[in-house]
Amino acid sequence: MEARLRVDWIRCDGYGLCGDFVPEVIDLDEWRYPIIDPRPIDGELLHAAQRAVDCCPMKALILESAPSESRRRR
Amino acid sequence: MPTPDPTQRLLAGPPLDGNPERLDAHLTRLGALPSADNHLDLISSLEASGLLGRGGAGFPVGRKWRALAERKSGTAVVVVNGAEGEPASAKDRILMAHRPHLVVDGASLAAEAVGADEIIFYVGREHAAAVAAMGRAIDERRAEVRQAMRLVTAPVGYVAGEASAAVHYLNSGDARPTTTPPRVSSSGVHGRPTLLQNVESLAYAALIARFGDRWYRSAGRLDSRGTALITVSGAARRPGVMEIELGTTVGEIAAAAGTTAPRVQAVVLGGYFGTWARVDDAWGLPLDPDAMKPKGLTFGCGIVGLLPTELCGVSATAEIMAFMATESAGQCGPCVFGLRAIGAATHRVANGAAGGGELGDIERWVSQIPGRGACRHPDGAMQLMASALEVFGDEFIHHARTGRCSITGSRGEAA
């Protein structure tokens, strides 16, 4: 299975824990808001990504199976 | 009698003198609205016309109506978007204030075509003449239009006219965008399928219903067919709203507005979410969505902003960025902090107070911020900023290095 991370930007408050959990996929900007690598995630990283989702204090991080809606739109 | 100008369609008729065209005059001039019984024919005709939405995004109108008409369930709602929060635009308020019945025509056709039982006219509350004209036109049409109609004034604000923000306001009084999906087309006003369409698009639909798609397509010089309302501002003797044949060049529009190329340094196209273009590139440019797109330019909501030669493009951009930062709905971090930071950095560069890192930071934010918000407000702001770096790149560097403006010669524009 391949998946992608998506952020609910209205919920996200910039705690930045996600970037600490999966730095391979999530970079943080200077305000600790995530910058997500758009490439699909699989294998080992999927577990780390799921952990980042589970630990988001705002429940603002979403793991969805690829292709994401945004990819289909383009 | 003089031959009517075939490119004057929405603005044909009585002069734009602040008085709305009344119902009897509207009917005498254009005839009754054809019955919408064959609504699939109307949708096909809109598709054939090539009419694009005129709120900014340019989505094909016929396709939007068809998608809603072919939904599986639910009674729809039509939202007529006349919020017009874009400060450089005046075409929607001019249209509503002078041709309100064309807007009601288009709204009622849309409601019949997509199966809606309610029409909400969402009109910017600061556009007093438009609010008054639309209110009266709606009252005059209640006996004839089958849907419930109401006028809701939109709060002042750039983002209040964004689709999800408009629906959010109508549902809960909060004019901030919401996370999509769900889209308003599936879950909008009262959670029902909602067609949200700009007033100009609806007015054109009312003319296409009367005169047909071939009539609409008979204007247009290049691939994009038809006509459009635009707003000209800046270095012109006669700024304001015009109706143009698509494909008309920026230079012709500027001439009609009473200016010449030597008076103009650059042109902002589309809106504050649009793009800057150098005067040399812009002058021969046809205002045609199909022709503009491959060049990375946007027709948007039809803004042609003429920056005079004696003003500084860096300062003009700094003002726009400060405005866009202020107008953030304040919900999404990258927009709140990013636009504020880019506005402040651009302001420091413009005022000769740059510390050295600003240009690098601005370039990084331009690439990092887009796509990271509930709505596309930050994306639009960054598109404008990216085009400013291209068009005024040398001037940005000159400001940052010397602290001076090579156009005004000043150190610190705002001082």
Question: How many domains does one find in chain B?
Answer: 3
Our CA-based measurement puts residue A20 at a distance from the nearest CA of chain B, in whole angstroms, of: 18
Q: The domain containing residue A12 runs over which residues?
A: 3-73
Say which CATH number the domain at A19 has.
3.30.70.20
Question: How many domains does one find in chain A?
Answer: 1
Say which CATH number the domain at B141 has.
3.40.50.11540
Are B77 and B202 within one domain? yes
Task: Choose the final residue of a domain: B293, B308, B323.
Answer: B308
Q: The domain containing residue B201 runs over which residues?
A: 23-217
Contacts with A7 from chain B: Cβ below 8 Å:
372
Q: Which residues of B181-208 are buried (b: 16+ CB within 10 A; e: fewer)?
A: eeebbbbbbeebbbbbbbbbbbbbbbbb
Alpha carbons B119 and B65: distance in angstroms, whole number: 15
Our CA-based measurement puts residue A42 at a distance from the nearest CA of chain B, in whole angstroms, of: 23
Question: Is residue B3 situated within a structural domain?
Answer: no
What average pLDDT does range B120-137 have in this prediction?
98
pLDDT at B180 over 90: no
Q: What is the pTM of this model?
A: 0.94
CB contact under 8 A, B333 and A35: no
Task: Choose the final residue of a domain: B289, B308, B327.
Answer: B308
Say which CATH number the domain at B375 has.
1.20.1440.230
Burial of A33 (0-12, 13-18, 19+ CB in 10 A): buried
Are B145 and B30 within one domain? yes
User: Is any Cβ of chain B less than 8 angstroms from the Cβ of A69?
Assistant: yes
Are B335 and B250 within one domain? no
Name the band, by pLDDT with cuts 50, 70 and 90, for residue B414.
very low
Question: Is residue B275 situated within a structural domain?
Answer: yes
> B152, B44, B30, B14: which is closest to B102 by C-alpha?
B30
Are B362 and B303 within one domain? no
Question: Is residue B415 situated within a structural domain?
Answer: no
Question: Is residue B412 situated within a structural domain?
Answer: no
Question: Is residue B87 situated within a structural domain?
Answer: yes
What average pLDDT does range B375-392 have in this prediction?
97
Question: Is residue B248 situated within a structural domain?
Answer: yes
Are B275 and B188 within one domain? no
Contacts with B333 from chain A: Cβ below 8 Å:
9, 12-14, 31, 33
Whole-complex ipTM = 0.90
3-class secondary structure per residue, B274-339: CEEEEHHHHHCCECCHHHHHHHCCCCCCCEEEEEECCCCHHHHHHHHHHHHHHCCCCCCHHHHHHH
State the amino acid at position A57 in one-letter form.
P
- Please count the other Cβ atoms lying within 10 Å of the Cβ belonging to residue B120: 24
What average pLDDT does range A39-66 have in this prediction?
94
Convert the pLDDT of each residue in B360-380 to its tens digit: 999 999 999 999 999 999 999
Are B178 and B293 within one domain? no
What average pLDDT does range B184-190 have in this prediction?
96
